[in-house]
Structure 1
Amino acid sequence: MSSPADMVARRAGRVATLVAAAILASTLPAQAQIFELMRIVGEGGTWLGLPVTAGRASFVGPAVPVAGLSLDGCLRVWDGHSGEWTIRAEDRLGGTRLDVTATPGEPVRFEFRGGLQAQLDAQVEWSEARDTTLHVWVGVAPPSGRDDGRDICQPPPG
């Protein structure tokens, strides 16, 4: 099985739900962003990596089209990390907010109900004031449990 770092490297530039839509934004035309987002939803999610300096990280993305997308999601801090991770994220153009303290391997479920566009504002605080790259699995599925019985909190093997 590949390590999370390998999976992050292979999936660089991919996004899922609120977090992913914002990261992808500036590199592709609007239509391509929507198709890429749909592909990731079809794959059930992606690994994301966020550089952390002195225990803190932040990200503000540009506005990106999400075309009214609604998703059920789950984020999970990679098991190889330590400490507690406080994650605050909000869609500046919509009502979706996430404010949680997670420990590695602990699933955190959320819902995303998008408008025409989304813009992510995320802040991360680690209980350890060190530098690292935060690896987070962001699993997604259409609402109403239409995820083909797969646990979206578990990254697929491989």
Structure 2
Amino acid sequence: MNAEAEAPIAPNGLAATFLSEDASLVALANLNAGKIGEVRLFSPLPPPGPPKRSRLSAFVLLIGLLGAAGAFGLQSYANIVAYPLDIGGRPPFSWPSFIPIAFEAGILSVVLATVVGAGALCGFTRYYDSVDEIRALRDATIDRWVIVVHASSSESLAQSRDIFERCGARVIEEAKL
């Protein structure tokens, strides 16, 4: 048997539970100042300050315009090049008749891009995250603030534990992230 396969994996992360928002924000600021590693805050309240701006609206606008242009181009190609018919003496490029279908195709593209883009931004494509195994996260949705640190080294893990203890963490839990 392989000795490496039997050795337990050492924890490379910590999760600390705080009873107040102020204590968690102080600990979060200290952790970010120390450049310990990836730091995530789980809170029952939205984070303070303005929300992060999303690029979803620009993405959706671009896809909508491409969908409308694609439908307009497809109709133009079909009526001018592929199958030109003289219907009622109308010219082959009768663009006003192309607008309703191009508009509907643009709206359909916007709806599909919004659903797919919002799902991707919200993380619906991620089925498992090792941070979900931490017991302290159950309290984060009710009345606790939980900070999870994915440390880059054992020294930064010890440093983050010291910061948590100084800031008054209620519970500190080791995690394998």
TM-score under structure 2 length normalisation = 0.25
Identify, as 1 or 2, the structure richer in helix. Answer: 2
TM-score under structure 1 length normalisation = 0.27
- Structure number with greater CO (CA < 8 Å, separation at least 6) is 2
| Higher Cα Rg, which structure | 2
